[in-house]
Structure 1
Amino acid sequence: MSATLFRTLFEHKAWANQQLLAQLIEHRSDEHAKSWRLATRLMNHLNIVDQIFIAHLNGIAHGFTGTNTPETPELSELLERTAQTDQYLIGLVSQLPAARFDEQIQFVFTDGKAGQMSVAEILMHLITHASYHRGQIGRVIYESDAKIPPDILTGFLHRNRQPNPQQSL
């Protein structure tokens, strides 16, 4: 898989995360407090897992004992933290030498078991993990009668990339 494709996938992830968090902030209500707390916990989990694997990629300790935090952050804090993490990942894949994608990373999962994944496998895990949980959150939002924000890669590309008229098919 190319660095260009990874960059596109992480740009899409950042866009979809921001759309979803903005929707959660805009439509939060006391009537659906339990649903919004679940959605916030899922988004926090998504961000914590990103931070854990960023630490693994950098060969540093992450300090987390689980894949979520005991406290539930405010959505505004989570919006900012998620944006920072997403921008870090976009920058990382933009500068990553092609040879590094196959590099094997050894680490310890938060359950204490040893793990080993290639850099590309870690990056794909972060993409698919985020997509999976955004889908769960979309269902929570749907059940609360709020509009589900767009989350499709082609929708992202359509909104953010204009075709080059000089290129022919």
Structure 2
Amino acid sequence: MKTITRMMDHLYWADGRILDALEECETPNKELLKLVRHVAVAERVWLSRLQNKGTAQYSLWEDAEDLTAIRTMFEENAEHYRAYIAGLEESELDEMIDYASQSGVPFRTSVRDILLQVLLHGQYHRGQINRALRIDSAAPVQVDYITFARL
């Protein structure tokens, strides 16, 4: 649990850093706003699945204009993930969760693998955002785990 908790702390930190970088852009690229919103919604979808709740109300790929609303979503996600993980026992990491994809396909995945998906999915997209920032002549932000670990 200690490793997953630490990695989730990195996720919250990295989400905040990437949002800060997007806020510093004078005119943030609409595709980047859509992508960062996707990360926030995907975190929420996976948490809903872990909590055995439906996810049909979530749309993973919508245009976004309001970075403040996205930041609020990330903050709420962090709060809910912290509470979920605080109540999780090590033995529960291997419990299987039944859920349906957003297109309705049924799946069965362990809690551990779902949490790892959340962690890796966000890191993948933060890398895409940083690359786009660099292409747009904006400064990318350091979101590597080791940077977080050195704090």
Query: What band does the TM-score fall into relative to the shorter chain?
Result: over 0.9
2:16 — aligned with what?
18
Q: What SS does the aligned partner of 1:105 have?
A: strand
Q: 8 Å contact 1:4–1:94 — kept in the other structure?
A: no
Pairing 1:111–2:109 present: no
Separation in 1, partners of 2:136, 2:119: 26
2:3 — aligned with what?
5
Instruction: Give the counterpart of 1:54 among 43, 47, 60.
Output: 47
Instruction: Give the counterpart of 1:84 among 73, 76, 90.
Output: 76
Q: What SS does the aligned partner of 1:117 have?
A: strand
Residue identity matched to 1:26: E
Unaligned runs of 5+ in 2: none
Residue identity matched to 2:89: P
Q: 8 Å contact 1:104–1:117 — kept in the other structure?
A: yes
Shift in Å at residue 91 of structure 1?
3.0
TM-score, normalised by the number of residues in structure 2: 0.93
Residue identity matched to 2:91: A
Residue identity matched to 2:33: T
Pairing 1:93–2:85 present: yes
How many residues in Structure 1 have an aligned counterpart in Structure 2? 151
Instruction: Show CA shifts across 1:66-99 (max 9, x none).
Output: 4223x41401111111121023213322331111
Shift in Å at residue 38 of structure 1?
1.0
Do the aligned partners of residues 74 and 13 (structure 1) sit closer, same or farther apart at CA in structure 2, a change above 3 Å counting?
A: same
Separation in 1, partners of 2:93, 2:141: 32
Separation in 1, partners of 2:66, 2:112: 32
Separation in 1, partners of 2:25, 2:42: 26
Separation in 1, partners of 2:66, 2:3: 32
Q: 8 Å contact 1:14–1:87 — kept in the other structure?
A: no
Instruction: Give the counterpart of 1:126 among 115, 118, 132.
Output: 118
Root mean square deviation of aligned Cα = 1.4
- Structure with bigger gyration radius: 1
Q: 8 Å contact 1:52–1:64 — kept in the other structure?
A: no
Instruction: Show CA shifts across 1:94-124 (max 9, x none).
Output: 3311111000001010111111100000000
Do the aligned partners of residues 92 and 111 (structure 1) sit closer, same or farther apart at CA in structure 2, a change above 3 Å counting?
A: same
Separation in 1, partners of 2:42, 2:61: 8
| Percent identical residues | 19
